[in-house]
Amino acid sequence: MPDPTVCFTDACYSQRQDIQLAPDASLVLMDLVNAGRSANGERWACASFSSSLRVHQGGRALLDERWLLEPLHGHLPERLGRFDALGTVLLIGPALAAAREALSARAGALPVIPPRRAHLLHQPAWVRGAHPPGGGHFGGDPAPVGPGVVGLSSLPPGR
């Protein structure tokens, strides 16, 4: 389990991940960000959080995801205050078929906001999660996602 990015008070964080996969390659990727140092009273007090994630496989685009969290777009504690963490989980490739099915079954049993579920079959899995306080952390039990899944989707067919 990777360590999450910590959005401490007045932090300005920017990351860009560009991933190029061979046609038969597999990838597990978890990108997590938490609300800050809650024990110090810091919750979504960063100045800016910017993240870009692009994944290509065999020269074809699978995902282009961008997050921008800034107070300019609305007071972050009001917009995100009920969540301790946000995250993206990707499972791509033939070696992860069983893991995608398990993730789909587990995440499908959790509350989804808005209510929607996708049957993943053999497609890459893409999960976005928002985790409320008091529930441990993503992967803590050892589930791949915690309660409050925002979206569970397969990537576009043929990708």
Instruction: Report how far apart, in Å, the C-alpha atoms of 143 and of each of 52, 79, 85, 107, 157 are.
Output: 25, 26, 15, 9, 26
Place of tokens 């401490």: 8
| Integer-rounded Cα radius of gyration of the chain | 16
Task: Tell me, yes or no, if the pTM score tops 0.85.
Answer: no
Of residues 3 and 148, the one with the higher pLDDT is 3
The residues spanned by each domain of the chain are 5-154
- Distance, CA of 2 to CA of 68 (rounded, Å): 21
Convert the pLDDT of each residue in 55-77 to its tens digit: 999 999 988 889 999 999 889 98
Q: Please write the tens of the pLDDT for every residue from 104-114.
A: 777 777 665 54
